[in-house]
Structure 1
Amino acid sequence: MPINHDTSFLEHMPPNCAVQFLDRVDKSGAREAFRFPRGDDAWESVTWRQAGDRVRRLAAGLLALGLEPEQRVGIASSTRYEWILADLAIMCAGGATTTVYPSTGGDDTAYILGDSESRIVFAEDESQLAKLRDHRAELPAVDKVVVFDAGLADGDWIISLDQLAELGDAHLAEHPTAVEDVAKSIAPDQLATLIYTSGTTGKPKGVRTLHRAWVFEGEAIKVQDILHEDDLQFLWLPMAHSFGKVLLSTQLACGFATAIDGRVDKIVDNLGIVKPTFMGAAPRIFEKAHARIVTMQAAEGGAKEKIFKKAFEVGVKVDDLKREGKSVPLLLKLQHGLFDKLVFSKVRDRFGGRVKFFISGSAALNAEIAAWFHAAGVLILEGYGMTENAAGATVNHPDAYKIGSVGQAFPGTEVRIGDGGEVQLKGPHVMAGYHNRDDATRDALTPDGWLRTGDKGELDADGFLTITGRIKELFKTSGGKYIAPPAIEAKFKAICPYVSQFMVFGAERNFVSALITLDPDAIAGWAAENGKSGQSYTELVNDEAVRTMVGEYVDELNGQLNRWETVKKWKLLDHDLSIESGELTPSLKVKRNVVEANNSDLIASFYTGS
């Protein structure tokens, strides 16, 4: 069944995010809206009506502080229920949310809040508050800070969420319909968010996204009829990132409940507790889960490992036959049923056992890993988009998907392949431009108004888009051969269960080289099985046995590549990449130029005398 391309919904969309939320509260008042952890084990649940009451009080508090239409309000926080409340309150008060990742340093935090001219800032905790205090002189426009964690308010510059709600109560006593009046007055083209892209070079750019963009995203997913009121989302993605934000827009459109906990190290545990029906995630999460399951089975060895390998051999064979429209022979069907009970059901149980599908975005998902999960009955629907188009432009559908592609265009979205194979987008979700960056805005849009993505891609006869690489990431060797690093890197991640990052270099050089980091958890498991338990990460990457093991995987990779693509020299780094080191963005993308700059001498040494 093809994706629903009916665009009649465009004529009936809510005019803005505030009305979209208030309509959802009216429609689904008694149903569960959010649940979130309280302490170590307990989860608290709130209805749409309870969330609506809290948001209304906070929005009125912002109005009491004098917030005017389109004035910016910052949120510096990890993903938690209070982030959602703050964002919805800003929307309902007619302001524009400015997002700041909790991992953003003090200087960049001050730059974002200063460049956006934010008047009010929601700060999660003492660490976020410290950045604001340290840079207060650079933030003359910030006249109030609202803290999420208790006990940090000073009653003057810094107030608590409860104090903001009390200001709202007083405002509503005098102006009972203040929030509803503001919500009705917000035009579709009013500024809703400034999301600063974690630029790999220079200062981050603030993407100006309008109310109509976020409303469109949610409504375009709703008409595809893949999510409903009785679904349950698990949300861990950074809400400062457009992928997290679009999942909130989708929730408002569809009315399902969301369990929220931004702690990445708790994802697997939480899935077992929450038992969601779907979740959005970056590919790194699926890579880690795949590696963990594979290495656990390898550690057991013997008959269990043989059954595990045979199960996936059968699972992939069955998938291939179905994809080709062929019938599955009876013996293979019986084997598949047995392996589903013995192996695949246990893989699904790791994710809570109720997942209908995952949505993968923010970076490319390796097709082999997607196929591996699919063989186990875990469907990963890859989508595509960027902050500049409010996160979603294309997505695979449970009834119409092609592994390795990023799906078909959202209804109401246009996709074309421009000069040089560049993917270009058009639709109600495209940004209004970069804040205070007219030159950058002009560069981002074609003369006829299409958004340049900077990605190379191909559209097939059915309208499925495949991304083949970043235009800027393609490089040419000194021998004149083009190399697409993401394709080589993805292959290695599918082969080696111990890898965290694999980065290919060789522009204008006579061969390809690579820097490799290992997943700390996976290699610690390997160490325990190989008599090296207790050794540090640095000790392990310098261990001859580890280097030999990784070298065998590199050899396996090279056997799958063209001669000019093969990796001739490589090195294990003594640390994994991290957000804190500045080598990963908060959405877990590698900042290739930062890694290259940090290791320029090492990379140069690969080619000395070559």
Structure 2
Amino acid sequence: MDTTNKLPLDMVYHWEGAKANSLYMTQPIGDGKVVEYTWGRAVDEARRMASYLKSLNLADKSRIGLISKNCAHWIMTDWAIWMAGHISVPLYPTLNADTVNYVLNHAECDVLFVGKLDDWDMMKSGVPESVRCISYPLSPSNDFETWDDIVAKYPPLEENVQRDADELATIVYTSGSTGKPKGVMLSFRNMAFAADGGLKVLQVGSNERMLSYLPLAHVFERTFVELASLYAGYQLFFAESLDTFVEDMKRAQPTLFLSVPRLWVKFQQGVLHKLPQKKLDKLLKIPVVNKLIKKKILKGLGLDKAKLAGSGSAPLAGDVLDWYRNLGLELLEGYGMSENFAYSHINKPGRSRTGYVGESMPGVETKISPEGEILVKSPATMMGYYKDEEKTRETFTDDGFLRTGDIGEIDELGRLKITGRMKEIFKTSKGKYIAPAPIENRLMAHQSIEMVCVSGANQTQPFAIIQLAEGIRPKLTDEGFRKELEASFAELVVNVNKTVDPHEQLAFVTIVSDEWSIGNSFLTPTMKLKRNVVEDAYESKVNDWYAKRQKVIWQ
């Protein structure tokens, strides 16, 4: 069907009639068992929950929170909130109590859906007593009203509620790499434009299968999984847990697969742990073996059926992109923000360029400011920040372009390259400016590195802090291995320094033993490094590191 000018609820009602008995969502419930939702069942349950929400007699366009890992109920809840005339407010399932409290109070949420969570005990004290809570079948133990009881009790909402295109549909709170999260206001038009445009660019149809596991609270997954499946009518599968991820992938056999750089690197390192790069290179040079090896690796990753694979949320090192492409998986990088519902740029199949995030998507205008900042404008651009007119004004130019905060350049084919982030640029004691991201990407070519942070404000030269790959850390007790690794890092510093300007050359790299994770606040919920947290954690040690005058330092 032609999805032009169709809003999300229009698509819900369309599939309810057109594919009522077709399978839409497959939800694992433990012990290898699943619950399957047809389009008809999913919409019916959403209608029943909408009836319940209407029975609460909340003020029109009330904000309703949703905190859960990805599951079928997450998506049905979003629909139910819209059908009931309200606004959905997703919260990341890894937030601490303080941030939960901040978001619920800032958005003035009246109701909160509490779903599948690993650490509800950590966050529940952040929920104000005035907020009514509803739990899912997969929720942690609680005494809230339950989804199943409610849908059994309430009749389905009969009318096909329509929402205006320019109404506020959702408030997405940014993952907050610095400071308090901001509430990005997105309209139904914003969401519809992004979903419809993305599908047309990627030529995605109703026969696709996709595994949903990145946080639905983030626009990347919300646009290209929830909304894309709604507009194309394809099947969704959910991951049960990290431990069952391989089985979840095998069940889904995704034809479309999205991930973030840190996970693409982890998948690669998992392969190379079993099949070292030198051996892999030799096998790929043998004509008879070449195709078999590529197929075996992709099958082991669960990606042998994937016709389209994407990476977003942060830059992915060119060497990693090339590694996957060498296996026959054209891994496409894209670029977007919460503020434009992840709809901005994408590498198109056959037109991708390593190191670039691709061309403007349909309806997106892009230009570079005199200061080098990337400016974008499209119908997917947010309405503004919730309760923050001043920040909204600062974020837009006089002619309506969104200030991305990223620095970039555009090639002759219109492909965008991100060369740094304006807020991340720092000045050395020599007065020279350094953008850390390009240097970090060069360092990430080393297969023993999982994450890296280049720093050095007010120092003579920059330096890098490194967290080793998970599979490498246990081997450090072997003195021989450790010396070999240290030599390879020393060589890495020399090689990287040859490729950068003199003022960008690294004084040293420090390998730290700490683990950077979402749990200890070093990473955002979408696995981006919180640069300020990393720098603050090691600030007291930096002068000692410089004093050592060594190329490789173990911390």
Instruction: Report if TM-score (shorter chain) is over 0.5.
Output: yes
> Which residue of structure 1 aligns with residue 214 of structure 2?
237
Task: Tell me the secondary structure at the aligned position of residue 154 of structure 2.
Answer: helix
CA distance in 1, matches of 2:243, 2:360: 33
1:516 deviates by 1.0
TM-score when scaled to structure 1? 0.84
- Residue deviations 1:443-471, cap 9 Å, x none? 11111111100011112222211111111
Structure with bigger helix share is: 1
Aligned amino acid, residue 92 of structure 1: M
Find the counterpart in structure 2 of residue 195 from structure 1. 172
1:270-419, aligned counterparts within 5 Å?
A: 270-298=248-276, 306-310=278-282, 337-352=287-302, 353-419=304-370
Q: 2:132 aligns with which of 130, 143, 150?
A: 143
Alignment partner of 1:100 is 2:91? yes
State how far apart, in whole Å, the 1-side matches of 2:248 and 2:514 are.
28
2:50 — aligned with what? 59
CA distance in 1, matches of 2:525, 2:375: 25
**What TM-score results when the alignment is normalised by the length of structure 2?**
0.91
Counterpart-to-counterpart distance in 1, 2:13 and 2:99: 34
Superimposed CA distance per residue, residues 169-227 of structure 1 (whole angstroms, 9 cap, x where no aligned partner)? 2xx4xxx524x1xx22x101111111111223321111111111111111102222521
Q: CA offset at residue 551 of structure 1?
A: 3.7
**2:110 paired residue number:** 119
Residue in structure 2 matching 1:256, options 234, 253, 266 = 234
1:402 positional shift: 2.3
Equivalent residues of 2:48, 2:151 under 8 A apart: yes
Deviations 1:293-329 (A, max 9, x none): 223222xxxxxx65522356x6xxxxxxxxxxxxxxx
Q: Does the aligned pair in 2 maintain the 1:24–1:253 contact within 8 Å? A: no
Q: Give SS of 2:214's match.
A: coil
Unmatched 5+ residue regions in structure 2? 550-555
Q: 1:363 & 1:348 partners in 2: Cα distance? A: 23
Mapped to 2, the partners of 1:410 and 1:428 lie a distance apart of 11
Aligned equivalent of 2:447 = 497
Instruction: For 1:67 and 1:359, locate their aligned partners in 2 and report how far apart those are by CA, in whole Å.
Output: 40
Checking the alignment, whether the CA contact within 8 Å between 1:502 and 1:517 is kept in structure 2 is: yes
Work out whether residues 409 and 415 of structure 1, in 8 Å CA contact, stay in contact via their aligned partners in 2.
yes
Residue 426 of structure 1 corresponds to 377
Distance in 2 of aligned mates of 1:289 and 1:456: 29
Q: Please list the CA deviations of residues 29-78 of structure 1 after superposition, one character each: whole Å capped at 9, or x if unmatched.
A: 23221112121323333221121111111122211222444211111111
Amino acid across the alignment from 2:194: E
SS in 2 for 1:507: coil
Residues 152 and 160 in structure 1, CA contact (< 8 A), matched pair in contact too = no
Structure 2: distance between partners of 1:215 and 1:68:
25
**Deviation per CA, 1:373-427, whole angstroms, max 9, x where unpaired?**
1111011111110001111211122243223211111212211112311111111
- Asked whether 1:606 is paired with 2:545, we answer yes
- Match of 1:29? 20
Task: Answer yes or no: is the 8 Å Cα contact 1:243–1:391 preserved in 2.
Answer: yes
Which range moves more in the overlay, 26-35 or 282-291?
26-35
**Is 1:523 aligned to residue 473 of structure 2?**
yes
SS in structure 2 opposite 1:587?
Answer: coil
Q: Distance in 2 between matches of 1:129 and 1:554?
A: 43
Distance 2:410 2:419 in 1: 11
Is the Cα–Cα contact under 8 Å of residues 61 and 164 in structure 1 kept in the other structure? yes
Match of 2:503 among 537, 551, 564: 564
Structure 1 residues 292 and 560: alpha-carbon distance in aligned structure 2, compared to 1, 3 A threshold: farther
Separation in 1 of the partners of 2:84 and 2:31? 34
Select the residue among 155, 158, 169 that pairs with 1:177.
158
CA contact (8 A) 1:458 1:465 kept: yes
What corresponds to 1:76 in structure 2? 67
Secondary structure in 2 matching 1:111: helix
Amino acid at match of 1:17: P
Give 2:535's aligned amino acid: E
Which amino acid in structure 1 is aligned with residue 238 of structure 2?
I
Describe the shift of the 1:190–1:351 C-alpha distance in structure 2 as closer, same or farther (beyond 3 A). Answer: same
User: Does 2:30 correspond to 1:91?
Assistant: no
CA distance in 2, matches of 1:569, 1:126: 41
Deviations 1:65-114 (A, max 9, x none): 22444211111111122212212221222211111112111011011001
Equivalent of residue 513 in structure 1, options 452, 460, 463: 463
Distance in 1 separating the partners of 2:140 and 2:79: 24
RMSD: 2.5
SS in 1 for 2:380: coil
**Structure 2 SS opposite 1:521:** coil
Q: Point out the more displaced range, 208-217 or 269-278.
A: 269-278
